[in-house]
Structure 1
Amino acid sequence: MNARHEHIIQLVSARGSVSVNELAQTTGVSEVTVRQDLNALEKGGFLRRVHGSAVAPESDDVGARMQTRFAVKKRLAEFAAGLVNPGETVFIEGGSTNALLARELSDRQDITIVTVSHYIAGLLREKGGDVIILGGLFQKSSESVVGPLTRLCIQHLNFHKAFIGIDGWDATTGFTSRNMLRCDVVNAIMEKPAHTIALTDASKFGQIHPYALAPQQPFRQVITDSSLDIACQQQLRAQGLTLSLV
Structure 2
Amino acid sequence: MNARHQQIIELVNTRGSVTVSELSQLTGVSEVTVRQDLNLLERDHFLRRVHGSALALDSDNVGMRMHTRYELKQALANHAAGLIETGDAVFIEGGSSNALLARLLGERSDITVITVSHFIAHLLKDAACDVIVPGGLLQKSSQSMVGPLTRYCVQQIHFHKAFIGVDGWHAETGFTGRNMLRCDVVDAVLAKGMPTWALTDSSKFGQIHPYPLSPAYQVSEVITDSGLSEETLAQLKEQNVTVTRIAQS
TM-score in terms of structure 1 length: 0.78
Distance in 2 (CA, whole Å) between partners of 1:92 and 1:185 is 11
CA RMSD, aligned part only? 2.4
Matching residue of 1:238: 238
Residue of structure 1 in register with 2:190 after alignment = 190
In structure 2, what residue type is equivalent to 1:59?
Answer: S
Partner of 2:111: 111
2:71 corresponds in structure 1 to: 71
Question: 2 CA distance for matches of 1:204 and 1:12?
Answer: 18
Aligned to 2:139: 139
Give distance in 2, aligned partners of 1:185 and 1:242: 22
> Partner of 1:131: helix, strand, or coil?
strand
Partner of 2:165: 165
Q: 1:193 offset after TM fit, Å?
A: 2.7
Deviant stretches of 4+, over 3 Å: 9-15, 44-47
Letter of the structure 2 residue corresponding to residue 109 of structure 1: S
For residues 24-35 of structure 1, the aligned pairs below 5 Å read none
Preserved contact between residue 90 and residue 111 of structure 2 (Cα < 8 Å): yes
Whole-angstrom CA distance in 2 between matches of 1:188 and 1:177: 15
Q: How many residues align?
A: 204
The answer to whether the Cα contact below 8 Å between 1:93 and 1:115 also exists between their aligned partners in 2 is: yes
SS of the counterpart of 1:126? Answer: coil
Deviation at 1:122, TM superposition (A): 0.7
3-state SS in 2 of match to 1:176: strand
Partner of 2:97: 97
TM-superposed CA distance for 1:146, in Å, is 0.1
**Residue type of the partner of 2:137?**
L
Query: SS at 1:234's partner residue?
Result: helix
Amino acid at match of 1:114: I
- The unaligned stretches of length 5 or more in structure 1 are 1-6, 16-43, 48-56
Q: Indicate the residue corresponding to 2:28 in structure 1.
A: none
Unaligned runs of 5+ in 2: 1-6, 16-52
**How has the CA–CA distance of structure 1 residues 180 and 45 changed in structure 2, closer, same or farther, with 3 Å as cutoff?**
farther
Cα gap change, 1:213/1:46 in structure 2, threshold over 3 Å: closer, same or farther? farther
Alignment match, 1:216? 216
Distance 1:239 1:45 in 2: 41
Instruction: Identify the residue that residue 153 of structure 1 maps to in structure 2.
Output: 153
